[in-house]
Amino acid sequence: MSEVKRGYVRPLDIKNGRIDLSHGSGGRAMAQLIEELFAAAFDNEFLRQGNDGALLPVPTGGRMVMAVDAHVVSPLFFPGGDIGCLSVHGTINDVAVMGAKPLWLSASFILEEGFPLADLKRIVDSMAAAAKEAGVPIVTGDTKVVEQGKGDGVFITTTGVGIVPEGVNLSGDLAQPGDRILISGTLGDHGMAIMAERESLGFSAPIQSDTAALHGLIETLLTSGAKVRVLRDPTRGGLATTLNEIARQSKVGMMLQEKALPVNPEVAAACEFLGLDPLYVANEGKLVVIVAAEDEEKALAAMRAHPLGQRAVAVGSVHEDPHHFVQMTTAFGGKRIVDWLTGEQLPRIC
């Protein structure tokens, strides 16, 4: 019999292994999972400290932003992304729309007993790649395991911190009458990509999720000098929800031009088929910008120069309205309001 090397530790069976309760119990199995899977993928100087909390340098000047987001998307893997990169992009975006430079992320995983390690590795590698590309390391994390049936494979919660430099002031209550409303690209890609994957609806379309980290685009926009009042990323509930939120916060009304709304033809067709409205479908890589009217062209030019903003376009204006309605001139010529979403948008027969 050949000698077994001293100090040999049987590695995780990524190919066939599954999460079991021992991976969450705090013992050796969990330590191995963290070391061989998470730490190996996310590796950075802070993680290497190996403590319960990450020791981080305190930046001087400016104000700090902190944001948190939980990700429960199903299916876990979809065209254009997965729950892993989504969780990195989503929180980076929440920090960046405040005008902050995102600095660090934390990631907490709730894993379901029986979840395949191969899938977990795919997700973790995707997160690592997204974090690296964005230049925002994952500096601390946590893992828990729940019994089979009590979780949808995996839930990921990420928290992000960033610093807003002096002189930058963005907030949902700063929109003013006369401002222009811009959007960085096409609407509804993410939501419809997810719908297409849900086999119970049985349609296939070449739609990719638009999940992306927007801090680079935002930086380009802010350094252009355009007087930006509000930045938001229109995720759940779509553009309609985001605009209604801003209208309420800023106590203004809005008027959109339906003809200006950018929607990919496959997304429009899929929405039409299911009776959904692209205005309410989720996006994960788009930016809503409310900017002073005189800086509209400057802002658009800045965004269009960036890969994520090539289809940036103006879609409407802000005006006085004591009722804070978001209205729209339809492509047909008539008017309607774009109201708050009622419940969840469900495919309909009627």
Partner 1 sequence: MKYIDEFRDGDLARGLSAAIRQIADPARRYHFMEFCGGHTHAISRYGVSDLLPDNVRMIHGPGCPVCVLPIGRVDMAIRLALECGVILCTYGDTLRVPASDSLSLMKAKARGGDIRMVYSSADALKIAQANPDKQVVFFAIGFETTTPPTAVAIKQARALGLKNFSVLCCHVLTPSAISTILESPEVRQWGTVPLDGFIGPAHVSTIIGSRPYEFFAEEYRKPVVIAGFEPLDVMQAILMLVKQVNDGRAVVENEFSRAVTRDGNVKAQNLVAEVFELRRQFEWRGLNVVPYSGLRIRKEFADFDAEKRFPVAYVSVTDNKACECGAILRGVKKPQDCKIFGTVCTPENPVGSCMVSSEGACAAHYTYGRYKDFQ
Partner 2 sequence: MCLALPCRIVAIDGENATIDVSGMKKDISLALMDDATVGDYVIVHVGYALTKLDPEEAEKTLALFAEMGEAALHEAAREIH
Q: Which of partner 1, partner 2, none is residue 266 near (CB under 5 to 8 Å by kind)? A: partner 2
Q: Which of 11, 265, 334, 343 binds partner 2 (CB under 8 A)?
A: 265
Q: Which of 45, 70, 259, 294 binds partner 1 (CB under 8 A)?
A: 259
| 61 touching partner 2, by CB under 8 A | no
Distance, in Å, from the CA atom of 303 to the CA atom of 314, rounded to the nearest integer, reads 11
| 350 touching partner 2, by CB under 8 A | yes
Q: Which of partner 1, partner 2, none is residue 204 near (CB under 5 to 8 Å by kind)? A: partner 2
**Six-digit token string for 300:** 């658009």
Looking at beta carbons only, is 269 or 337 nearer to partner 2? 269
Q: Which of partner 1, partner 2, none is residue 301 near (CB under 5 to 8 Å by kind)? A: none
Distance, in Å, from the CA atom of 346 to the CA atom of 213, rounded to the nearest integer, reads 28
Name the segment binding partner 1 (CB under 8 A); options: 30-38, 86-94, 115-123, 266-274.
266-274
Looking at beta carbons only, is 126 or 345 nearer to partner 2? 345
Q: Which of 40, 205, 292, 301 binds partner 2 (CB under 8 A)?
A: 205
Contact by Cβ (8 Å): 315, 307: no
Selection from 220, 237, 232, 244 nearest residue 300 by Cα: 220
Q: Which of partner 1, partner 2, none is residue 206 near (CB under 5 to 8 Å by kind)? A: partner 2
Using DSSP's 3-state secondary structure scheme, residue 343 falls into coil
Looking at beta carbons only, is 13 or 272 nearer to partner 2? 272
| 263 touching partner 2, by CB under 8 A | no
| 332 touching partner 1, by CB under 8 A | yes
Distance, in Å, from the CA atom of 297 to the CA atom of 29, rounded to the nearest integer, reads 56
| 43 touching partner 1, by CB under 8 A | no
| 268 touching partner 2, by CB under 8 A | yes
Residue type, 175: A
**Six-digit token string for 21:** 């309760």
Looking at beta carbons only, is 58 or 346 nearer to partner 2? 346
| 346 touching partner 2, by CB under 8 A | no
Looking at beta carbons only, is 174 or 268 nearer to partner 2? 268
Q: In what order do the strands lie in the sheet with 180-183?
A: 228-232, 288-291, 180-183, 313-319, 253-257, 326-329, 335-337
DSSP letter (8 states) at residue 57: P
How far apart are CB 268 and partner 2 at their closest, in Å? Answer: 7
Q: Where in 138-197 is the site for partner 2 (CB under 8 A)?
A: none
Compute and round to an integer the Cα radius of gyration of the chain.
Answer: 22
**Six-digit token string for 344:** 């969840």
| 263 touching partner 1, by CB under 8 A | no
| 269 touching partner 2, by CB under 8 A | yes
Phi, psi of 32 (to 5 degrees): -70, -40
In angstroms, how far is the first alpha carbon of the chain from the final one?
72
**Six-digit token string for 20:** 């079991």
Residue 219 buriedness (CB in 10 A; 0-12 / 13-18 / 19+): middle
Residues binding partner 2 (CB under 8 A): 202-206, 265-266, 268-270, 272-273, 275, 348-350
